[in-house]
Amino acid sequence: MWWWFEERLLEYRFRRGHRCYDRQIRQLAAKKDREPGELDCLLQEASENEDMALDELNSKSGQNLLHQARMLGLATPSFKSGAYEEGLHPNTYRLTAEARAELRRSIREERKARRDEWSGLLKDVVIPAVLAFTGLIGTIIGLVSVLHRK
């Protein structure tokens, strides 16, 4: 579950950075005596920062999905299948949005199949055994109390 917290932390950092730049852009836009090009420079910096944060978030999300798929024994997309795209950093690659969605779907299906398997075992074996055992204990207690009164 550590991967879930990592993704939430990256999302939080992305939103915090976005809010910070929004505040700076509003303040600079309201400022009357700003230098020419200062607003454009800040907008470009905000865009680059947002792109880098989204790249990191998408990369981490893809890594986490690949890890989950490997833990479940699912097939992961190969590099040659076109499921990867180049990241913003040199020599980095990440899963495409379509590949991440497909991997999420297959992970969800596998977990549902495993859950259904366990729930069938619970419904068909464990619950009837517990009920029979409870009935047997109740019968024994009843017999003991009847024999004890005589």
* C-alpha torsion sign, points 122, 125, 131, 136: negative
* Domain extent listing, the chain: 2-149
**CA of 31: how far to CAs of 25, 34, 38, 39, 132, in Å?**
10, 6, 11, 10, 79
The CA distances from residue 106 to 8, 61, 109, in Å, are: 22, 15, 5
Question: What pTM did the predictor assign?
Answer: 0.66
Per-residue pLDDT of 63-81, as tens digits, reads 888 888 999 999 888 878 8
| pLDDT tens-digit series, residues 126-148 | 888 999 999 999 999 999 999 88
